[in-house]
Amino acid sequence: MSRVKKNNLIWLTVFSWLLVLWANASNSTEKYSNNIKPLFMALDNSLPNYVGYDCWHGYEDILDNLRDAQNGVPPEKDKVKIAECLMNSAKTEYPPLIFATSVFSDESINAVTRGIEIVSSRLGNYGPYHVYLVGNNEEKGFVVDVEEIAKIYCNSADKYTEEPFENCFENAMNDFPNFGCCGAAHNPSHGIGQNIRYQSAVFSEDNRSTKEGRSIITSAHEYIHVYQNGFFLWGNDIAAEQAGLTEEYSHGPVWLEEGFAEGLAQKFTYQDGYNNHYKDFLNEALDAAIKVNRIHKFTLRDIATRQDQANVRSICEECQGWLQYETAAIALAVLESQIGNENFIDSFKSYYGNVPIVGWESAFEVSFGMSMNEFYEMIDIFMEKPKKEQRKIIHKLL
């Protein structure tokens, strides 16, 4: 394509986009009108033919080496160039798709939709992303349409990932009818070298969760995981994983990934007027953090890896959640109270943007101005303070 034609096309695209913006501004005051709005899909809908972007063209040998090595380390040649391409390829113009069984009310579907919009308005649109509202095996949230939603879930896996339909469907038919209440599980994009960075989430929540105000927060939480996964580029370090170590170019410690997701989901929904219990969350999370620290003697250092999760759970089953969700959210709230909300969000984005280039430890220090050990020490000091003083610190976020 000639430069003139390309420039004309760019300007035509910009002009068309401006018209869309003007139309939205003129016809609607809806806060999220300029976002890519999630779409609700029937279970028998055909699936879209997504078009991905090949960042590995000309780097096929490097990709093969990364797959063979399985060490989760970026290539030496053109690392930054490839990483920037991959990070951009995780963004999408395709709308998130929501599939639900017939047990879910319009109110529940709208809550999940709004949770995605709240996060994407701040962090951008990542995916393609599908949500499957399955339900659970409790009387008021029972799973219906099991085969139908399992089929669309597995058709998507078969179409966009390397998982075959038959394997997926067998597992889904075993798992979906037996879900307990209530929560969700995020499924990241599969491996490296995928042109289509498809991600999904399966919800075992039901209409009660919506009435309690939880569904919108869960939806926001899972979409933050979609954002985070857009920066996981080099695959898993199998040796480090088996040795119980935190992989250098991963999201970092388990608690950091989950603490960001839960803490920001709570905060974003609060900021937009959909979470009236944010103060209660902070207070209850602080109580849990105190309990797990002072009674069970655990700190965030004890839950950095998947093996750590299992070790903590074997000693105190509830302590895993108290550490990776509540304690992590409180620790990050302490950090945010020190550097301010705007700086915190900028640092959060900086962290993930730097992880694929320099690794999570250096990325944390560059982005937040302290090493992870210094952060741990700061939280140790916080945990020793009187509860009244602790609450004063975390309530700065309100």
* Domain residue spans of the chain: 30-235, 252-398
Angle at 200 (CA atoms; ends 225, 124), nearest 5 degrees: 50
Residues 6+ apart with CB under 8 A from 248: 72, 73, 237, 240, 359, 360, 361
Segment 54-95, tens digit of pLDDT: 999 999 999 999 999 989 999 999 999 999 999 999 999 999
Residue 236's pLDDT is: 87
Segment 104-143, tens digit of pLDDT: 999 999 999 999 999 999 999 999 999 999 999 887 667 7
Q: Are 379 and 300 in contact (CB under 8 A)?
A: yes
Residues 6+ apart with CB under 8 A from 386: none
* Residue 72: closest CA among 251, 249, 254: 249
Residue 34's pLDDT is: 61
Residue 249's pLDDT is: 96
Segment 293-347, tens digit of pLDDT: 999 999 999 999 999 999 999 999 999 999 999 999 999 999 999 999 999 999 9
Q: Are 220 and 268 in contact (CB under 8 A)?
A: yes
pTM: 0.90
